[in-house]
Copies of this chain bind each other. A is one copy, B any other.
Amino acid sequence: MSDKAAKKRQFILDTAKTVFAEKGFKSVTMKDIVEACEISRGGLYIYFDSTEAIFSEILRDEAAKQSWNLAGGSAGDRLAFFLNEQKKSILSSDKGLSVALYEYMFYKHEGNLSCDDINDAFKAGVAAVEAIVKEGVDSGEFYADDIHSAALNIVYLLEGLRLAAGTVGVSERDIDGQLVYILGGLIAEE
């Protein structure tokens, strides 16, 4: 049973994810999810108490899937790979979930609710980028006065791009231009 229950739980999460990707966070109601999952109103409450609980768990799932330190290779290769992944994610339809994510963050922030998962994820992201940059600096591939600022710069820039993608829209060329800029900033200066 616990097995079956786990499967149903996962089914709900997967289905709800598509709903959040489509409608953002705040607009999604328990009813929307009930309808998308084609289960009963009461049935959903057995597993989750609120859209917030569902989204929070979806985030946990997503975070678990993340692997910052993918592959091996030189720092340059790894950074290039990372940036390419980010580019794909910014352009992809999964962008939808990022809009929901922003709404979720605002929602938590407005309520002055702690949002440690998000904060932690952000810090983890910064740390991962910082690690790559540091490695590159150590190996002489990159140049940076202040490694922390360099990493933050990359992360903030990517957030800015992602946000723009969800609102005013960005072209692939715009993204490429910025990625070149990032790499240039780390490499060009001898």
B110/A99 in contact, CB under 8 A: yes
A163 touches B160 (CB 8 A): yes
Shortest CB-to-CB span from A164 to chain B, Å, is 6
CB distance from A173 to the nearest CB of B (A): 10
In the complex the two chains form, what is the Cα distance from A178 to B157 in whole Å? 10
A153 near B157 (CB under 8 angstroms)? yes
Across the interface, name the chain B residue whose C-beta is closest to A119.
B168
Quick check: is A136 within 8 A (CB to CB) of the other chain? Answer: no
Q: How far is the CB of A30 from chain B (nearest CB, A)?
A: 15
Q: Which of A17-39 contact B (CB under 8 A)?
A: 22-24, 26-27
Q: How far is the CB of A145 from chain B (nearest CB, A)?
A: 8
**Chain B residue nearest to A123 in the complex (CB):** B168
Query: Do B157 and A174 touch (CB < 8 A)?
Result: no
Binding-face segment, A3-11, A53-61, A72-80, A181-189: A181-189
Quickly give the copy total for this chain. Answer: 4
Give the number of chain A interface residues (Cβ < 8 Å).
Answer: 45
A156 surroundings in chain B (CB, below 8 A): 157, 160-161, 164, 178
A164 to B181 CA separation, bound complex (whole angstroms): 21
Given contacts A118-B167, A157-B160, A159-B160, contact A180 B110 (CB under 8 A): no
- Residue A49 at the chain B interface, CB threshold 8 Å: no
Q: Judging by beta carbons under 8 Å apart, are A180 and B26 in contact?
A: no
Contact of A103 among B103, B118, B164 (CB under 8 A): B103
Decide if A178 touches B153 in the complex (CB within 8 Å).
yes
Q: Of B152, B181, B189, which one neighbours A150 at CB under 8 angstroms? A: B181
Which B residues touch A115, using CB under 8 A?
167-168
**Bound: A145/B178 CA distance, A:** 12
Known: A99-B106, A158-B160. 5 other contacts (CB 8 A): A24-B106, A24-B107, A122-B164, A149-B177, A153-B157
